[in-house]
Amino acid sequence: MALNQDKLTALDVMRDAPVIPVIVLHDVAHAVPLARALVAGGIRMLEVTLRTPQALQCIELIAKEVPEAVAGAGTIRSAADAQASLLAGAKFGVSPGYTSAVGKACRDLGLPLLPGVATGSEIMNAQEDGYQQLKFFPAMQAGGLPMLKAWQGPFGDVTFCPTGGIHAGNAVEFLALSNVACVGGSWIVPTDAIQQGDWARIEQLAREATQLSR
């Protein structure tokens, strides 16, 4: 499916595939082959977390060298993070929590954001600022499936991407919920596979992830 990256919305990011990979890269040499393997497996929304000094350079390389991929930045915690991510070529952002400052910065930059929430109050704060597509994080530690089911009543207009503790064994349960559009997870980008350059394994994990029902 063709995608206009310049008019991307948070809902586009969430609906593209059942899983958004949560990627931690320590070596810039891994960025491009990893992105190509994920795209080959059917996953193109790639959340590269800002947890390492190399992250912004990795985003830049993916944006330049793998145009079929949609490079996003995770772990956005400030307006400065949002600005740096956009300059590096990120097309969307993901935050582990939510503040109005981060929400306003991303909105002003035109950077689609999936804000992280773990409580009803955080959901309400994000909604007040116009955000309806949210990341539930850390999903398992913050209540998991029962919490998402409880939120279906008061927050029936919100769509979630649960992240944190999601894996191949429980992803389908989350995807079956009406208020879940996708899940975030690192199981399709195992650290050992990245370190070993086992791109075939990652491509296969991505392909399997695209077959998860939702």
Task: Provide the annotated active-site residues.
Answer: 47, 135
* Burial state string for 8-27 with b = 16 or more CB within 10 A and e = fewer than 16: bebebbbebbbbbbbbbbee
Structure tokens at 115: 């804000």
CA distance 181 to 212: 12
Q: Tokens at residue 8, please?
A: 């991307």
**Are the C-beta atoms of residues 189 and 23 closer than 8 Å to each other?**
yes
State the distance between the two ends of the chain, measured CA to CA, in whole angstroms. Answer: 18
Determine the Cα–Cα distance for residues 68 and 36; give it in Å rounded to an integer.
8
